[in-house]
Chain A
Amino acid sequence: MVSEMAKQLASKFKYLPETIERFIALFGLDETEKMLLAYEKHPKATIRTNTLKIDSYALKERLEWKGFILEETILDSDGFVVKKQPFSLGSTTEYLSGFYFIQSQASWLPTILLDPKSNEIIIDMAAAPGGKACHIAQKMKNKGSLVCIDISRERIRSLRSNLSRCGVINNICIRMDGRDLNKLQLKADKLLLDAPCSGEGLMAVDKKRRLERGLEDINRMSQLQKELLAAGISSLKKNGVLVYSTCSTAPEENEENIDWAINNYPIKIEETNLLDFSPGLVTAFDKKYNEDLQKAIRLYPHKNGTEGFFVCKLRLLEEINI
């Protein structure tokens, strides 16, 4: 049963009434209204320096000479908020030379939490179009090995193109269903699962989703995400780190999956030591999740100026036999 208030807000902001009802149940009316207003604005454009090719100081100087105005961010010293762009960020010589990646600030977080090191084997389970993969490679200083998985023929081409532009040499790209990851018989030091999701956190960027994606999509994605998580966990070495993220604020795609994984695998949630973000939920609707989910991070457009986002860092305590 959808409330009158939910119907009114849905009509005003052009969402499915059921979506608004869920937001109110999760965040309360006041927060929901603030979030809906924030979703009306496009998030600020941000870029991340590709330190495999240039340092952030030199990039800033180059782009500002061309009329761009860049502002440092506290999240990552290699990233900038673009305050003014005289022409498209995607057509500069610097972009084509792979000096930067156009990527939202929220998307920097999974790699920051993964904390890649040079000598490691790292798997990026849903890698296309490659923003996070390039970020991982630069943190690895192009050493070790980065295994990039994606199922889509079209998207893996774009992944390869971005890896090429950014000069990522330590990559192996494999076109396969991430759920079959075990078939590779590979045990990684670290694994990123930026899971395919309903994109509920992208309402500002893709307004069509407001009326096209509902609970059915969320539940379908949640099932797929659990299967991917299971495959990812099984492909880690003992003490390996898995970072799970989505651009969705739906607990079914986030906390519920992590809670399910904790109950089925020898894993624990790690502290992120990142301040200024909202904690993961420990209750949602009529469900209660593991208390450690407070260590997960949630980002909201009205609080962080980003898309809606979830990220959680997990550690495998015992290797899984495959």
Chain B
Amino acid sequence: MTIIFRELYREEEELLLTELNYWLIKSNIDSLKKQYSFVIAEGKWRELLISNFETKKLLKEKNISPYSIGLKFCEIKESKIELGLPGIQIIGEITNKKAIITPEAEQAFLYRNDIICESVIEINQDLNVNDKVIVKNKEGESLGIGKVMVLSINMKKKQFSKATAIKNLMDLGWYLRKGK
């Protein structure tokens, strides 16, 4: 199937902005927009890719039909955004919506497992159940993205220790499972 590379439609820009507003403060959004150039790749899937400005210019000037360009920031499914692994890494560097997990849980998470409450070392207190969160290890690397299942204030309570705190939505282990 031919993939069409084009600028974002207005509704896609709004969707992206809504997603960025969830994760980031305004100054971070502005610097992200200055740093990267965004492109939509539309084929079987609709992906929002990030590139540098020179490369996007080259793509336009030479009328090249590529397989891909830059990195997958996210995929747009109907009117929802699902961050891709590079998108998770970029957002993970600057967002406050993050959870830090233990080294033991890190390995399990990279094998698609969820995280139980006792494995969460630290989590943003403003997060609610069903909110998305970037999962990080103690060294600060973004390991993936998850969905909060237990209110952060309850995570340290003994009765919740074995309960699922964060459901795994996407993790770096994808590169081993599907990326080869």
Contact = CB atoms under 8 A, between A and B. Distances in A.
Given A170-B55, A184-B62, A96 B173 contact: yes
Contacts of A91: 176
B67 A156 contact: yes
B172 A172 contact: no
Interface of B: 36, 50-52, 54-55, 58-59, 62, 64-72, 84-86, 89, 106, 110, 137, 139, 141, 143, 172-173, 175-176, 178-180
Contacts of B59: 172
A225 B40 CA distance: 35
Contacts of B139: 62
19 contacts: A93-B110, A96-B110, A97-B172, A143-B52, A161-B179, A163-B71, A164-B84, A165-B85, A167-B89, A169-B70, A170-B52, A170-B55, A171-B55, A172-B55, A172-B59, A172-B64, A172-B66, A173-B67, A185-B62
B68 A145 contact: no
Shortest Cβ-Cβ A-B pairs, 8 listed: A161-B179, A96-B172, A145-B55, A175-B67, A173-B67, A173-B68, A174-B66, A172-B66
Nearest to B179: A161
A15 B61 CA distance: 51
Interface in A54-94: 62, 90-91, 93
Given A97-B172, A184-B62, A167 B106 contact: no
A38 to B, nearest CB: 29
A168 interface: yes
A158 interface: yes
Given A161-B175, A184-B62, A186-B62, A170 B110 contact: no
A167 B139 CA distance: 18
A97 B173 CA distance: 9
Interface residues of A, number: 33
A291 B36 CA distance: 48
A142 interface: yes
Nearest to A96: B172
Contacts of B64: 147, 172, 174, 184, 186
The DSSP consensus for interface residues of chain A is mixed
A121 interface: yes
A122 to B, nearest CB: 11
A144 interface: yes
A158 B137 CA distance: 26
A116 B150 CA distance: 49
A298 interface: no
Contacts of B54: 143-145, 170
A160 interface: yes
Contact of A174 (B65, B106, B110, B175): B65
Contacts of B72: 164
Interface in A135-190: 142-147, 156, 158, 160-165, 167-175, 184-186
A197 to B, nearest CB: 22
Contacts of A173: 66-69
A173 B143 CA distance: 26
Given A169-B51, A184-B62, A174 B67 contact: yes
